[in-house]
């Protein structure tokens, strides 16, 4: 840790609990505290304040939250009142804004965690999912091309005391293959995906189910991915570089009436969410086709299978709903070597995803010129991330690493697609 270490914590304004840490206890090494503030279990926003003195941190956090988040807190209360007054006729925004009104039971939900030789992180993830307050719930672990029996032994051991937990193995490596394997064995139509380096909020599945219930036309629900630890420069770089945990209002996306303002829409699929936290109707996948096995970690593309699925949903005329109350906490890579490998893989996956849709003819070539203009915004964000992680020279190297990954990813996808003689998945023609 360094003096710049930030303690990540959670504060629910409407209960009597103190600020509680999400990645470990508060220590003398933490100079600042980042607090995710919630009302009625709905994320409202972040505040940052000095971590010490610890004895009055909760009181100081409450005071700062009430001052700096006054407008979004008032907006939440207005939406909550609208939902209460109008009940079933409430508008979409009101109906998905207050988790305290979400049902704790309803259509069955299957949670799929695809993992490969990371039993320690998986154990923490499963323990958090066991605390989810929704039923019926199936918890399905897909062990992808394991090198040992450690994951199987962990999962089957937990399953003895919790019948919701099930183990299955996909012997062929690749995240897309693992996701498809899980889809084929899921018990329910509503399927949540998360990663083995996350911990989910107890209200996660209820929020997902509420999102689908509020919009029968929704094919996919995504959610907030908050950083669970910001102790190291690598963690702070990742947190600042990617916008997984920055949106605190529900949103909807489609081709008709709910469009993002970006000139790259809908091909800037990262605006929809991320693979660490999304849910999909299995019936929608049956119409669209499975996750592309050329994409995804462990495959030739090394990533991008989530972006590809999001885009295919939109291009097919479907809708994606983003709900911040569908909350998971993500453990970022804590050292610079692991971060560089992850950044390279993200770039590689992005390049593969772009290559797929350029080769298929779905992505207009003219968008490449807009993407070049968008690159300046990416560079600005990367510089900001470098400052947050205190990585000046290292930050510049990471930018080049990500760019190199994108180039290699594009070439890799083209080569792999030719070798497997697999034509890119097609979608219905749409005006975009």
pLDDT, one tens digit per residue, over 307-339 is 999 999 999 999 999 999 999 999 999 889 999
Query: Pick from 49, 55, 48, 1: which is nearest to 24 by CA?
Result: 1
The confidence score (pLDDT) of residue 370 equals 65
Cβ atoms 82, 91 nearer than 8 A: yes
pLDDT, one tens digit per residue, over 165-177 is 999 999 999 999 9
Query: Omega of the bond prior to 392 within 30 degrees of 0, cis?
Result: no
The confidence score (pLDDT) of residue 169 equals 97
Question: Cα dihedral angle (206, 101, 128, 323), rounded to 10 degrees?
Answer: 60
Structure pTM? 0.90
pLDDT, one tens digit per residue, over 374-431 is 667 777 777 877 777 777 667 778 888 988 998 999 999 888 878 765 444 443 333 3
The confidence score (pLDDT) of residue 383 equals 80
Q: How large is the average pLDDT for residues 110-119?
A: 96
Query: Omega of the bond prior to 53 within 30 degrees of 0, cis?
Result: yes
The confidence score (pLDDT) of residue 142 equals 98
The confidence score (pLDDT) of residue 50 equals 96
* CA atoms within 13 A of residue 131's CA, in its CB half-sphere: 11
Kindly give, in sequence order, each residue whose CB lies less than 8 Å from that of residue 221, ignoring residues fewer than 6 positions away.
Answer: 207, 208, 211, 212, 278, 279, 280, 320, 321, 322, 323, 326
d(CA 308, CA 244): 17
pLDDT, one tens digit per residue, over 89-106 is 468 898 999 999 999 999
Mean pLDDT value across the chain: 89
* Listed range (115-129, 224-238, 313-327, 404-418) with the worst mean pLDDT: 404-418
Residue with tokens 């508060």: 26
The confidence score (pLDDT) of residue 429 equals 36
Q: Strand runs (DSSP E) across 164-318, as ranges?
A: 165-170, 190-194, 198-200, 218-227, 251-253, 277-281
The confidence score (pLDDT) of residue 265 equals 87
Task: Determine the distance from the C-alpha atom of residue 245 to the mean position of all C-alpha atoms in its chain, rounded to a whole number.
Answer: 8
**Domains contained in the chain, CATH given:** 1-101 (no CATH), 104-334 (3.90.550.10), 337-420 (no CATH)
The confidence score (pLDDT) of residue 432 equals 38
The confidence score (pLDDT) of residue 269 equals 79
Residue that wins the pLDDT comparison between 153 and 414: 153
């Amino acid at each position: 840790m360094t003096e710049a270490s930030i303690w990540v914590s959670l504060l629910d304004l409407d209960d009597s609990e103190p600020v509680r840490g999400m990645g470990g206890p508060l220590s003398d090494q933490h100079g600042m505290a980042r607090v995710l503030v919630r009302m009625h279990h709905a994320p409202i926003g972040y505040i940052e304040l000095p971590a010490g003195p610890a004895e009055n941190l909760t009181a100081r956090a409450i005071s700062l939250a009430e001052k700096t988040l006054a407008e979004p807190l008032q907006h939440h209360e207005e939406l909550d009142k609208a939902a209460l007054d109008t009940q079933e006729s409430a508008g979409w925004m009101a109906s998905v804004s207050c988790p305290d009104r979400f049902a704790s039971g309803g259509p069955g939900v299957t949670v799929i965690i695809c993992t490969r030789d990371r039993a320690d992180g998986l154990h923490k993830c499963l323990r958090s999912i066991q605390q989810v307050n929704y039923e019926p719930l199936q918890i399905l672990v897909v062990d992808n091309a394991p090198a040992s029996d450690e994951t199987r032994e962990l999962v089957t051991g937990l399953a003895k005391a919790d019948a919701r937990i099930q183990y299955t193995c996909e012997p062929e490596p690749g995240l897309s293959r693992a996701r498809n394997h899980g889809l084929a064995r899921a018990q329910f139509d509503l399927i949540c995906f998360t990663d083995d380096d996350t911990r989910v909020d107890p209200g996660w599945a209820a929020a997902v189910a509420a999102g689908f219930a509020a919009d029968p036309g929704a094919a996919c629900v995504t959610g907030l991915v908050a950083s669970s630890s910001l102790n190291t420069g690598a963690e702070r770089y990742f947190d600042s570089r990617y916008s997984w945990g920055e949106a605190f209002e529900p949103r909807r996306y489609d081709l008709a009436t709910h469009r993002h303002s970006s000139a790259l829409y809908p091909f800037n699929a990262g605006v929809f969410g991320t693979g660490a936290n999304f849910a999909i109707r299995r019936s929608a996948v049956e119409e669209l086709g499975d996750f592309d096995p050329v994409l995804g970690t462990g495959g030739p593309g090394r990533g991008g299978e989530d972006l590809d699925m999001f885009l295919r949903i939109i291009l097919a005329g479907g809708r994606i709903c983003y709900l911040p109350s569908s909350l998971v906490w993500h453990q970022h890579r804590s050292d610079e070597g692991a971060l560089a490998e992850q950044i390279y893989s993200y770039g590689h996956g992005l390049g593969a995803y772009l290559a797929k849709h350029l080769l298929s003819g779905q992505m207009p070539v003219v968008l490449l010129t807009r993407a070049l203009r968008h690159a300046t915004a990416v560079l600005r964000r990367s510089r900001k991330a470098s400052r947050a992680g205190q990585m000046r020279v290292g930050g510049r190297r990471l930018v080049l690493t990500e760019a190199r990954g994108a180039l290699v990813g594009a070439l890799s996808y083209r080569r792999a697609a030719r070798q497997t003689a697999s034509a890119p998945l097609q979608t219905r023609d749409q005006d975009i």
